[in-house]
């Protein structure tokens, strides 16, 4: 019986500290997840090439979408394959590689949430203060905010793996797995700073955007040229800005649907049902990186046009960056 128990361990020679071998996913699920990973990398790479190459797409909003695409690309390129490996095999790559993966798995979600907050702020200014949008939201300021977002995400990840140089493996529950084992204090900190605060900000901004959009829609229907909100006159936003807000609102809603279950289930008492739901919530969270470019494909004509030009290699032609994309 003892031999059978040892055979179930990742490191049978260390029965007291070794993890139990994971129960592998069904082969079909693994193949589907690998396919999603490949699609995620391909679609987000197309977004990055599109926004980077075509000059007309170098707008503040698209810079935020570019930053989100970079984080989604890393999800498909690193997080998804490693998640599959972690779920189907023991970890044999050592503490440093594991700590690097954990750092990336902390940086990317934090950067993605930061990008969604910045997108919400961008739409808030465009709808609620349209006359000052071009002066308040400039390309330089957006690039600066994106850099701050990634710098914060990198610094934030160091808070969880800061003990690595002096205490290798201290962040792992046992040997043979690569998973963060954080204290209740760190988990509460992460829940508050990386979920509750940004989600509250996102929801508050979009509720305000929705209220202003409804007011302006009523004003346009009644042929009123100005809308009074809280005893002040708010200029009407352009119809194109309202349409853009709706499109980005779809992106934000889908993001929240994919992210919320992971944080909610993570705080439920652990049992086999919760463990199964947790795996599903992780897959849903990672799959959001594949859904974002699909949303662009359905909602943004410029993305479909850019993909056509990239696939047909027309972007290799001289002055292709000056192509009219809008």
Dist CA 236 CA 210 (whole Å): 13
Whose tokens are 């795996």? That residue is 279
Could you tell me which residues come within 8 angstroms of residue 156 by beta carbon, excluding any fewer than 6 positions away? 106, 107, 110, 193, 194
The conformational region for residue 115 under phi > 0 = left, psi -120 to 50 = alpha, else beta, is: alpha
Q: Which of 66-80, 105-119, 240-254, 282-296 has the lowest mean pLDDT?
A: 240-254
Q: Which of 62, 157, 70 is nearest to 118 (CA)?
A: 62
Q: pTM for this structure? A: 0.83
Q: Which of 36-40, 99-103, 106-110, 209-213 has the lowest mean pLDDT?
A: 209-213
Residue 141: pLDDT over 90: yes
- Grouping H, G, I as helix, E, B as strand and the rest as coil, residue 18 is strand
Superfamily of domain 36-322: Rhodopsin 7-helix transmembrane proteins (1.20.1070.10)
Burial of 79 by CB count in 10 Å (0-12 exposed, 13-18 middle, 19+ buried)?
buried
At residue 231 the predicted structure's pLDDT band, cuts being 50, 70 and 90, is: very low
% of the chain beyond a pLDDT of 70: 80
Q: What does each C-alpha distance from 181 to 170, 171, 214 come to in angstroms?
A: 8, 5, 46
251 token code pair: 């992106």
Q: Which residues of 106-123 are buried (b: 16+ CB within 10 A; e: fewer)?
A: bbbbbbbbbbbbbbbbbb
Q: Which residues pair with 228 in a beta bridge?
A: 233
Residue 39: pLDDT over 90: yes
CB 146 within 8 A of CB 64: yes
Could you tell me which residues come within 8 angstroms of residue 313 by beta carbon, excluding any fewer than 6 positions away? none
Burial of 33 by CB count in 10 Å (0-12 exposed, 13-18 middle, 19+ buried)?
buried
At residue 52 the predicted structure's pLDDT band, cuts being 50, 70 and 90, is: very high
Dist CA 70 CA 64 (whole Å): 10
- Grouping H, G, I as helix, E, B as strand and the rest as coil, residue 167 is coil
């Amino acid at each position: 019986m003892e031999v059978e128990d040892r055979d179930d361990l990742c490191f049978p020679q260390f029965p007291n500290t070794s993890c139990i071998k994971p129960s592998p996913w069904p082969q079909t699920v693994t193949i589907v997840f690998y396919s999603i990973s490949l699609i995620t990398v391909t679609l987000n790479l197309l977004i990055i090439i599109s926004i980077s190459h075509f000059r007309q797409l170098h707008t503040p909003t698209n810079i935020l979408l570019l930053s989100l695409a970079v984080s989604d690309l890393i999800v498909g390129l690193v997080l998804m394959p490693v998640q599959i490996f972690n779920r189907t095999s023991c970890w044999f790559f050592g503490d440093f590689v594991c700590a690097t993966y954990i750092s990336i798995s902390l940086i990317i979600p934090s950067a993605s949430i930061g990008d969604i907050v910045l997108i919400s702020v961008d739409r808030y200014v465009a709808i609620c203060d349209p006359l000052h949008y071009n002066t308040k939201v400039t390309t330089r300021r957006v690039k600066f905010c994106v850099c701050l977002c990634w710098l914060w995400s990198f610094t934030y990840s160091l808070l969880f793996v800061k003990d690595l140089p002096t205490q290798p493996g201290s962040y792992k529950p046992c040997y043979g797995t690569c998973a963060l084992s954080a204290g209740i204090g760190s988990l509460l900190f992460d829940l508050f700073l990386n979920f509750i605060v940004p989600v509250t900000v996102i929801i508050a901004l979009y509720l305000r955007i929705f209220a202003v959009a409804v007011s302006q829609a009523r004003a346009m229907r009644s042929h009123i040229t100005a809308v009074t909100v809280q005893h002040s006159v708010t200029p009407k936003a352009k119809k194109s800005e309202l349409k853009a807000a709706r499109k980005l609102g779809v992106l934000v809603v889908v993001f929240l649907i994919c992210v919320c279950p992971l944080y909610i289930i993570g705080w439920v008492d652990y049992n086999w049902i919760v463990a199964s739901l947790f795996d599903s919530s992780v897959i849903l969270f990672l799959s959001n990186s594949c859904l974002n470019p699909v949303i662009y494909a359905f909602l943004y004509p410029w993305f479909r046009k850019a993909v056509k030009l990239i696939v047909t290699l027309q972007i290799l032609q001289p002055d292709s960056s000056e192509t009219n994309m809008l």
